[in-house]
Amino acid sequence: MAHVHPVGVIEVRVNEISQLFDTLDPLPFRDRDLDPHAEEYIVGWAREFPRRRAFTIIVHAPKHELGNKYAQQLEAALRSYFNYRADVVEGELKELFKVGRKSLLIGMAVLATCTVAAQAIPEIVGPGSISRFFGEGLVILGWVANWKPMEIFLYEWWPLGRRRDLYRRLGQACVEVKAFDA
């Protein structure tokens, strides 16, 4: 019977702990951004695990790296980075919902205006196929004006919510540093 990890294990091998972080970032080690390739690797593996599973990140590094300050600050640095990324995505999600609410107000106003105008056309132009054509066109326009807000509220927020949750789980990950012979 295969052994199933109670947590998702993500393993990374580096020659130096500092390789995990963006070397151009002037902030202290604990506050640095993750190297884009390292983030892509960790996040890519994290996506492979079930959504509710916790993570352990195991960093394999040479023995001489285990005693340095970077190895001792690694868990705090990774947690800080992934919690920061979760906050950034949370901000994007809030902005998306704000745009959705504004779009919905505009869309509903356009729909109401188009519906009233569609009902007024037969009285202005008279009954017939021309008034039906323009009336139905206005109603369709009103519904099309609501396409974007409906898309936002029904579909667009899901990927952001999932990414935020993934970063939050990574921000709570246990981090282990294990030695390998260099």
Q: Three-state DSSP class for 10?
A: strand
For residue range 30-79, list pLDDT tens digits in order: 677 889 999 999 999 999 999 888 999 999 999 988 888 888 889 999 99
Percentage of the residues of the chain whose pLDDT score is greater than 70? 93
CB 167 within 8 A of CB 55: no
Model pTM score: 0.81
Name which of 105, 96, 92 is nearest 152 in CA terms. Answer: 96
The amino acid occupying position 4 is V
Could you tell me if residue 175 is left (phi over 0), alpha (psi between -120 and 50 degrees) or otherwise beta?
beta
User: In this predicted structure, what is the pLDDT of residue 47?
Assistant: 94
Sheet holding 55-62, edge to edge: 8-13, 55-62, 174-180
Tokens representing 13 are 């091998």
Tokens representing 63 are 């023995």
pLDDT above 50: residue 1: no
Residue 126 confidence class, pLDDT cut points 50, 70, 90: confident
User: In this predicted structure, what is the pLDDT of residue 30?
Assistant: 67
pLDDT above 60: residue 170: yes
